[in-house]
Amino acid sequence: MASLAERYQALLRWAEAAGGRLHPAVEIYHDEVTKGSFRVKEAGVLGPDEEIVSLPLSCSLSFLNAIAGHPSISATLPTTISAPPDEAYFSTEFLSNVPPHVVGRFFLMQQYLRRDNSPWWPYIRMLPPPELMASVLPVVWPTSDAEFLRGTNAYVAVQEIRSSLKKEYKQAMKFLPERFQYEYTRPLYYWAYCIFTTRSFRPSLILPDAESLSLPCQIDDFSILLPLFDIGNHSPLAKISWVTDQHSRTCTLRSCQPYSARQQVYNNYGMKTNAELLLGYGFIIPESEDFHNDYVHIKTKANPAAGDLNASHIVALRPLSHRRSVVGRSRLLDPEHLSCLPVFSHFQDTLIAALYESIARHNDTTSDVSLTEIMQGRIPPRLLEEIIDALGTKLTIDLEEVEAHDPAYEAANQNQELALLYRGQCKKVLDNALASLSNAGP
C-alpha cells in the first residue's frame, strides 16, 4: 500500500500531467497538527507576488462533470470540464429530480466506487477515507461527542444539517436502481458531504465566464472540488488572490505576501467565525495577541409583511472596533465607521438595526433615522432602553442554555476537547457582551 507521501507525489504528478503546477519552492507537507498543507522548502523562499499552485479546470470535480455531454441534459459548459464514460452517466430521471449539490456528492461517491477506473483516482485516494470520517466534522461525530456541543448554537446547526442530509439521501435514492442501495450507502453520502464541505469552492469564484454559461440551475447551487489546489490551509489574515485565466482555463492561487523557509503557506477561505469554521471545516482558531475569532450567532425572525428576511448576526468577544476583531468588522454594514455607544460595541450593527425596527414597529413609532444615529443612541430614550433590555434578555437566555448543558464528565477524545474549547469561548463572548450591557448606565 502506498504511503501518504507517495500518494501526495502521485497527486502532484497527475495534476502536472494535466497542466497544473506547484511552485518549485513549495512542498506538500503533513503532520498531526496541520495535516496536509503547503510549506516552503527548507532552502526555499516565496516572494510577495508569486503563484503558489495552479490547476486546469479539467481536473475539477463537481455536478458539472455529471452532466457534461449527457445525452438528455442541455447545458453550455466550459469545454475543459471532463465528461464521464457513457456507462457512468446517471439517469435523466436522477439528474432532473435531485438538487445539483446532491448530484455532485453522488458523482464523487461514484468515482470513489470506481477506484482506479476513475480519472480522479489519484486525487480521491489522497482524501480522508470514509472509515475515518468520525473526527472530521461535528455533523458526523458520534452522538456522545456531539453532546459536548449541546446548549450552543453549533449543536442546533448540527441537528438541522443531519436532518437535511437524511432527507437528501433518502430522496435521491428513490431515483437510482435498487442494486445501487448496496454501494451508495448513507455513510458514503455523509463522507461525500464532508469532502465537499471541507474542500470545495464556489463556482462563481472559479469559473471565468460563469455569467454566460447555460446551466440547468443557478451557478452557486453546487460547489467545485479542485484537487491539489485544496491542500492549502486557512488563515483569515493570509493575503492571497484566486484567478482563473479565461483562455487557459487554469485556476491559480497567488500569494500577496512573502514566506520564508519552512513556513506554512496559507490559503484564505474568507472571513468565517469559529462557529462557521467548526461546522464547515472541523476546527477553530484559538485566541491570540493579534486576533480573535470568537463570535456567537444570533438569528432574528422575519416579518414578511414588513419586508424583513431571516438573518443571522454576530456578537463579538471583543468590541468590533478592537484590532483583534478582524472577522467581526468585516460583517459591519460600514466597517470604516465604528463610532457607536459602548453598550453596542460587541454587536453587529445589523442586529441593533433589526431590533430598532422591530421595537419601533411594535410601539407604532415611525421615524426616519440612519444606522449611525441608531448605533450612537440618538433615538428616543425609551426605544434605546428596550433595545438594551432585549439584548440582555437574549444573551442571558443563551448563556443559561450553555451552562445548563455543561458536560458532567471530562473530555475523552479530540472531538470532545474541541467542543469544550468552543463552548468555553461561547460563554466568554456572552459574558463580555453582558458586561458591556450592564455598564450602560442610565
Same domain, 292 and 427: yes
pLDDT digits (tens, 9 = 90+) for 125-166: 999 999 988 889 999 999 999 999 999 999 999 999 999 999
Radius of gyration from C-alpha coordinates of the chain: 24
pTM: 0.93
- Cα 413 from Cα 89, distance rounded (Å): 42
Same domain, 86 and 198: yes
Q: What is the mean pLDDT of residues 291-317?
A: 79
Same domain, 308 and 250: no
pLDDT at 307: 47
Same domain, 312 and 411: yes
Is residue 276 in some structural domain?
Answer: no
- Among 212, 238, 265, which residue terminates a domain? 265
Same domain, 215 and 249: no
How many CB atoms are located within 10 Å of the residue 102 CB?
Answer: 20
Q: Which residue has the higher pLDDT, 426 or 245?
A: 426
Same domain, 258 and 401: no
pLDDT digits (tens, 9 = 90+) for 373-425: 999 999 999 999 999 999 999 999 999 999 999 999 999 999 999 999 999 99
Is residue 375 in some structural domain?
Answer: yes
Give percent above pLDDT 90 in the chain: 75
Is residue 273 in some structural domain?
Answer: no
Same domain, 303 and 337: yes
Same domain, 100 and 20: no
- Among 237, 265, 293, which residue terminates a domain? 265
Sign of CA dihedral 124, 129, 135, 139: positive
Q: Which domain holds residue 406?
A: 283-438
What is the CATH classification number for the domain harbouring 245?
2.170.270.10
What is the CATH classification number for the domain harbouring 430?
3.90.1420
Same domain, 252 and 367: no
* ∠ CA 390-395-396, rounded to 5°: 100
Is residue 141 in some structural domain?
Answer: yes
Is residue 346 in some structural domain?
Answer: yes
Average pLDDT, the chain: 91
Cell reading at 166: 437524511
Q: What is the mean pLDDT of residues 54-76?
A: 90
- Cα 10 from Cα 5, distance rounded (Å): 9
- Cα 270 from Cα 328, distance rounded (Å): 12
- Cα 259 from Cα 356, distance rounded (Å): 47
Task: Classify 250 as helix, strand or coil.
Answer: strand
With 0-12 / 13-18 / 19 or more C-beta atoms within 10 angstroms meaning exposed / middle / buried, residue 88 is middle
Query: Please, how many CA atoms are within 13 Å of residue 398, restricted to the half-sphere of its CB?
Result: 26
pLDDT digits (tens, 9 = 90+) for 2-23: 788 899 999 999 999 999 999 9
Is residue 107 in some structural domain?
Answer: yes
Same domain, 86 and 213: yes
Is residue 277 in some structural domain?
Answer: no
Same domain, 195 and 82: yes
Same domain, 105 and 234: no
Closest CA to 198 of 151, 147, 132: 132
Closest CA to 58 of 129, 128, 127, 123: 123
Give percent above pLDDT 70 in the chain: 96
Determine contact, residues 298/354, Cβ cutoff 8 Å: no
Query: Please, how many CA atoms are within 13 Å of residue 410, restricted to the half-sphere of its CB?
Result: 0
* ∠ CA 116-120-121, rounded to 5°: 35
Q: Is the pLDDT of residue 427 over 80?
A: yes
pLDDT at 368: 81
Question: From start to end of 157-286, where are the E strands?
Answer: 200-201, 224-225, 240-244, 250-255, 264-265
Q: Name the phi and psi angles at 300, rounded to 5.
A: -110, 145
- Domain tally, the chain: 3
Cell reading at 299: 438569528
Q: Name the phi and psi angles at 363, rounded to 5.
A: -90, 5
Closest CA to 221 of 342, 341, 75, 365: 75
pLDDT digits (tens, 9 = 90+) for 166-195: 999 999 999 998 888 899 999 999 999 999
How many CB atoms are located within 10 Å of the residue 385 CB?
Answer: 13
